[in-house]
Structure 1
Amino acid sequence: MRLLVAALLGSLVGMERERLLWAAGIRTHMLVSVGACLTMIVSAYGFQNSIQQPHTVLDPARMAAQVVSGIGFLGAGSILLRGNSVRGMTTAASIWSVAGLGLAAGGGLYFAASVCTGIILVILAGMKPLEEAYRARIQSCTFRMRSERGAVPFDQLKKVLRVRGGQVKRIEVQSVEDDLDDTTILLVRVSQADIRAGAARLKEMPGVQNVKVSKKGSRKL
């Protein structure tokens, strides 16, 4: 019964990861949960005969405790570095959490394991829209503007873009012709609405020929 409960709870979390096409899906989460559950059962009941022997002292919790640290290699395998972004941290955390579900089910703590499964699913699926909405407000972006020389003075850029000094990370100006400049402006912690409005205001300035914007989120899980 405990092994089946662990498999069921692990599959629920795995289905959420499978829905997003992550490498660690239903089978991986089920195996982690069932394996952790079996380790807990062996740790709790596998040494009963040895404990009953005289002058024998054993700590049955030590075997189950190794699951918490040992599961790290699976989590590390799901983390990928792509360019400047790290992907797979959430899946690694879900694998580690599923191991805890298996331990709880192996210890007979069905209610705690079920409640924890519900909380994990809410975090993985329910919190994602809120996280994406928050990330939309803390994007970084790069403005690339071609303009006539001196058309946009440095001291006017922050006023035109309506940003604070801490949001401007870098401004670079490169002369491309005798009377034209290419200006690159890197901004951080700006929303999509601010980016669109800033680009529109730059394009309306006299002497500005074109403005290009490239956006990037602050991080990826």
Structure 2
Amino acid sequence: MLANWEMIARLLCAAVLGGAIGFERERLLWAAGLRTHMLVCVGSCLIIIVSAYGFQDVLGQKNVVLDPSRIAAQVVSGVGFLGAGTILFRGEAVKGLTTAASLWAVAGVGLASGSGLYLAALVGTIIILAVLAGVKPIEERYRRRIQTRTITLLARRGEFSIEMLRQASGPYARRIQQFVLKQTGTEDLDEAEISFVRLSEAALQEIAAKLKAMPGVTQVEGPDVS
């Protein structure tokens, strides 16, 4: 039978490690924050302790076999239901996947703590925190590099073409993803929607300045154009 001090140590370890991960989510004001992660971690720890040591009084009976791994498997699959509650759909955007994944991972930390695998629980927590806090700036920097930037341009009818756009884009012409030229409600103006991919904000500003200086162009605007 597991000693009382060891049982308490495992539960406290789960609470501390789960809280460390939950604090990172709480810092970003997600619904599943400090308390949720602590509860999932401690709950997983308690479940695996009960699974491994809670039925020892019946193990001596005939035809009774204990398989603690079955309970652990149920925790791993069952916590997915809780994680699904943190996922939000806003139009075409999906929010909360990372928090759902952290809940799933923190359940693993709780199972490791409850099994007495303190090193695995500690290292797992460090890696999870590194992924949540350390990798995010790298991920955001990469997304900014590959995101699509759009310019809307107004020009006098028939005085703007794709060749002029390529001339203004210079070495960035290969970053042009889409060029759509259409008539506006005003008879003497055309509207061009231009999309670039993998283009920095500084390069976009440079292209926008060249477009503004071109003859026939009356207006250049966009979310990243000043």
1:12 matched to 2:20? The reply is yes
- Could you say what the CA RMSD is over the residues aligned between the two structures, in angstroms? 1.7
| Closer/same/farther in 2, CA of residues 42 and 169 from structure 1, 3 Å limit | farther
Bigger RCO of structures 1 and 2 (CA < 8 A, at least 6 apart): 1
Q: Which 5+ residue runs of structure 1 have no aligned equivalent?
A: 216-221
1:104 matched to 2:109? The reply is no
2:173 maps to which residue? 163
Structure-to-structure mapping, 1:45-60, within 5 angstroms: 45-60=53-68
| Closer/same/farther in 2, CA of residues 170 and 147 from structure 1, 3 Å limit | closer
Distance (Å, rounded) in 2 between the aligned partners of 1:147 and 1:103: 64
Using structure 2 for the length normalisation, give the TM-score: 0.88
1:185 matched to 2:194? The reply is yes
DSSP-derived class of the 1:164 partner: helix
State the percentage of identical aligned residues: 56
Letter of the 1:107 partner, please give it. S
Contact 1:139 1:191 in 2 (8 A): no
Select which of 94, 110, 116 maps to 2:102.
94
Using structure 1 for the length normalisation, give the TM-score: 0.89
**Runs of 4+ in structure 1 displaced over 4 angstroms?**
none
Q: Please list the CA deviations of residues 153-199 of structure 1 after superposition, one character each: whole Å capped at 9, or x if unmatched.
A: 1233244232327x413524123323211111233333323322222
DSSP-derived class of the 1:22 partner: coil
Select which of 155, 170, 173 maps to 1:147.
155
Aligned length: 214
DSSP-derived class of the 2:137 partner: helix
Letter of the 1:177 partner, please give it. T
Q: Mean Cα displacement is larger for which, 104-113 or 124-133?
A: 124-133
Contact 2:181 2:190 in 1 (8 A): no
Contact 1:140 1:188 in 2 (8 A): yes
Structure-to-structure mapping, 1:48-87, within 5 angstroms: 48-87=56-95
DSSP-derived class of the 2:192 partner: strand
1:31 maps to which residue? 39
Q: Please list the CA deviations of residues 123-163 of structure 1 after superposition, one character each: whole Å capped at 9, or x if unmatched.
A: 11112221221111111122111111222212332442323
1:175 maps to which residue? 184
